[in-house]
């Protein structure tokens, strides 16, 4: 078969299966044009005649699986993406956290970090908060399933649209937290000493991650089906400390998983309570969840 001819249904389904197997991302016929577009150039680079042969290569090579993951993941992100979330973090989350726990290190997880803008944005927010509260200590871990995009996150070099949007939104932060000229601008040491990146598949139990006070799990659940979302959320909760806050993407409705469309503070201490105490607390927790939703969504 020719690469320019469409793959037959069984091959398309096998490719969708590979996407799910390696990333948990749910794809179907509606995504075929996109997937084909992403794989076509790779197949040509490998000098393969068609998608069926590519499946054979994929089966026998972990290196190819790594490239496949880089190709099938969608890495769109930006600094200060969804401004109201950052307003909430700066005006409510950080002051409240500092009032309760100042002295302990604040631990943050950017759980689908992509090229790093979310983790670096969090670091800038913490640095700004530190101007008024020098005692704040913090550590941010960014994780992603794609090694290729994580290399960009670690490098911390930004240009083009990414920098333009930061310059438009928060111009005063650029000279404070970046170095270099406008052609090649790079995150400075003040941020780098607080941020690290590593590979992690959200479908894996986060054994050596956490416990975190704040988890940003944004614009990734939309790629999973309901079962996948539940599995990922269960994993993420394991890495959250009692009273930690979880923030999901604006367009991610967790209505079938939780009651909040935007964000939710999970009080995972409740899981450890005895059944009797849990019953007594249930009514209170409903009120607590309502309060948290308002705090985050307002």
Ligand X SMILES: C[S@@+](CC[C@H](N)C(=O)[O-])C[C@H]1O[C@@H](n2cnc3c(N)ncnc32)[C@H](O)[C@@H]1O
Tell me whether residue 11 or residue 231 sits nearer to ligand X (CB atom).
Answer: 231
**Segment near ligand X (CB under 6 A); pick from 31-39, 167-175, 201-209, 271-279:** 201-209
Q: Write a three-state SS string for the chain.
A: CCCCCCCCHHHHHHHHHHHHHHHCCCCCHHHHHHHHHHHHHHHHHCCCCCHHHHHHHHHHCHHHHHHHHHHHCCCCCCCCCCHHHHHHHHHHHHHHHHHHHECEEEEEEECCCCCCHHHHHHHHHHHHHHHHCCCCEEEEEEEECCHHHHHHHHHCEECHHHHHHHHHHCCCHHHHHEECCCCCEEECHHHHCCEEEEECCCCCCCCCCCCEEEEEECCCHHHCCHHHHHHHHHHHHHCEEEEEEEEECCCCCCCCCCCCCCEEECCCHHHHCCHHHHHHHHHHHHHHHHHHHHHHHC
List the one residue from 118, 127, 213, 267 that touches ligand X (CB under 6 A). 118
Q: Tell the smallest beta-carbon distance from residue 284 to ligand X (Å).
A: 32
Tell me whether residue 72 or residue 173 sits nearer to ligand X (CB atom).
Answer: 72
Using CB under 6 A as the binding criterion, the count of chain residues that bind ligand X stands at 24
| End-to-end C-alpha distance for the chain, whole angstroms | 55
Q: Is 249 in the site for ligand X (CB under 6 A)?
A: yes
Q: What's the alpha-carbon Rg for the chain, to the nearest Å?
A: 21
Q: Is 73 in the site for ligand X (CB under 6 A)?
A: yes
Contacts to ligand X from residues 256-295, by CB under 6 A: none
List the one residue from 75, 157, 165, 169 that touches ligand X (CB under 6 A). 75
Tell me whether residue 32 or residue 203 sits nearer to ligand X (CB atom).
Answer: 203
How far is C-alpha 188 from the chain's CA centre? 22
List the one residue from 203, 243, 268, 281 that touches ligand X (CB under 6 A). 203
Q: Is 202 in the site for ligand X (CB under 6 A)?
A: yes
Q: Tell the smallest beta-carbon distance from residue 181 to ligand X (Å).
A: 26
Q: Is 229 in the site for ligand X (CB under 6 A)?
A: no
Q: Tell the smallest beta-carbon distance from residue 279 to ligand X (Å).
A: 35
Q: Is 169 in the site for ligand X (CB under 6 A)?
A: no
Tell me whether residue 77 or residue 229 sits nearer to ligand X (CB atom).
Answer: 77
Tell me whether residue 122 or residue 292 sits nearer to ligand X (CB atom).
Answer: 122
Q: Is 122 in the site for ligand X (CB under 6 A)?
A: no
Binding-site ranges for ligand X (CB under 6 A): 23-25, 73-77, 81, 112, 114, 118, 144-146, 149, 201-203, 218-220, 223, 249
């Amino acid at each position: 078969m020719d690469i320019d001819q469409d793959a037959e249904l069984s091959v398309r389904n096998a490719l969708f299966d590979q996407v799910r197997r390696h990333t948990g991302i749910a794809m179907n016929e509606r995504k075929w044009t996109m997937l084909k577009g992403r794989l076509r150039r790779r197949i040509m680079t490998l000098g393969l005649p068609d998608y069926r042969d590519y499946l054979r290569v994929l089966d026998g090579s972990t290196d190819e699986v790594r490239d496949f993951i880089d190709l099938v993941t969608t890495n769109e992100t930006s600094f200060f993406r969804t401004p109201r979330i950052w307003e909430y973090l700066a005006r409510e989350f950080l002051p409240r956290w500092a009032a309760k726990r100042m002295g302990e290190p604040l631990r943050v997880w950017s759980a689908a970090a992509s090229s790093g803008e979310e983790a670096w944005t969090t670091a800038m927010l913490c640095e700004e908060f530190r101007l008024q509260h020098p005692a704040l200590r913090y550590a941010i871990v960014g994780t992603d399933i794609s090694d290729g995009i994580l290399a960009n996150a670690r490098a911390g070099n930004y240009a083009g649209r990414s920098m333009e949007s930061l310059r438009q939104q928060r111009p005063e932060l650029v000279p404070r937290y970046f170095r270099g000229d406008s052609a090649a601008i790079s995150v400075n040491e003040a941020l780098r000493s607080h941020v690290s990146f590593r590979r992690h598949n959200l479908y894996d139990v986060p054994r050596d991650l956490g416990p975190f006070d704040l988890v940003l799990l944004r614009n990734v659940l939309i790629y999973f089906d309901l079962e996948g979302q539940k599995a990922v959320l269960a994993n993420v909760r394991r890495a959250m400390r009692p009273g930690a806050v979880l923030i999901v993407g604006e367009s991610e409705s967790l209505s079938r998983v939780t009651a909040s469309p935007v964000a939710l503070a999970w009080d995972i201490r409740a899981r450890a309570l005895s059944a009797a105490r849990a019953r007594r607390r249930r009514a209170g927790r409903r009120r607590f969840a309502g309060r948290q939703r308002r705090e985050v969504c307002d």
